[in-house]
Structure 1
Amino acid sequence: YNDLIIAMQTQDSVVPFEELFDKIIDHETFLIHNEKKNLDSAPPTVNIAKHSPPSHYFPKPNFPSSAPCLFPNPSSPIKPYTPNQPTSTPIVCQFCNKRRHDAKKCYKLFPHLYSQRPSANHVTTSSSAQNPWIVDSGASHHVIFQMLNLSLHQPYEGPDDIQIGDGSGLQITHTGSVSFSPSFNLSNILCVPLLNKI
């Protein structure tokens, strides 16, 4: 109710009780409507999986050896290890005191910036299969990186992208559908070519 209190305090004249009561009821209705709207608009999520040969590469952890904890905080965004990264003092947020981001990108200070973006989970297996498709029936969207796998496709012109684990976004270039059999079709598949680079 802070907005309403400030508006009433900046009035030059005394607001009659009936008018104040009406404004409070209107503001309460507004708050309830916005709360329902936020609950109903859960961000879409996708899960992808791909087959690849087993990897014997294990990157070094991206924290100093004197760190008190071997496991990063799961609520903190994690950036991949890059061997050419210069060693410097880690960034610490001035707002939440967490590492690897500053106040301009703080997910606690700006939760609305991080809660509405579609996200993707990436799974890699080492088994080989004849069919390159792994369907996740729990996903709200399916993602591919090769447009050639789509039966029908069209360019994607929307504002969304796929958010990956380090917080960066990957561009969706096309949407389409694929038919595995006459009785099994997937539509609204997202084509994200940069998934191949992950």
Structure 2
Amino acid sequence: MKNKNKVLGEDRKSLILKWLKEQNRPITGGELAELTNVSRQVIVQDISVLKAKNEPIIATSQGYIYLQDNHRPTQYERVVACKHAPDQTRTELELLVDHGVTVKNVIIEHPVYGDLEASIMVSNRTEVDQFIKKIDETNSPYLLQLTDGIHLHTLVADSNDKLDLAYKALTEAGMILEE
């Protein structure tokens, strides 16, 4: 439902926070811009201000998500070191999500900036498709292209067994960086 008037300043940030907390799905900057009758760039700035105030908002390829820990079942995390070509990214992500794993992020070690981390947050093949489509549509390079294919992923699952099986699948596919 679009407002006819712009929602201003703190009222807009409060509404954005409320909407993000209420949703169980990502909300795009475009949707938030339409709801508040401002530009998407204004929403990006608002999200930055909210993050600076320690609100646990992450930007994913599907939109913004508010991380709510109090309603989550027990989750296990593991960081894995991978190496592969950019054209193998879909295969890598599908292997992981097919084992019930969420790919939380990608991290590379940049020679100037140090660790660079980007949120991915894909948990199923539809989200993988959306992620790859967005990369293709924007002609954006994968971060692994800055490091000859070397990158880390933080993986999240509801059991260590799922993490073990996902790791084994990556190993069998030759995508784990050997020590």
Q: TM-score, normalization: structure 2?
A: 0.22
Query: Highest CA radius of gyration, 1 or 2?
Result: 1
Larger helix share, 1 or 2? 2
Report 1 or 2 for greater relative contact order, CA contacts < 8 Å, sequence distance ≥ 6: 2
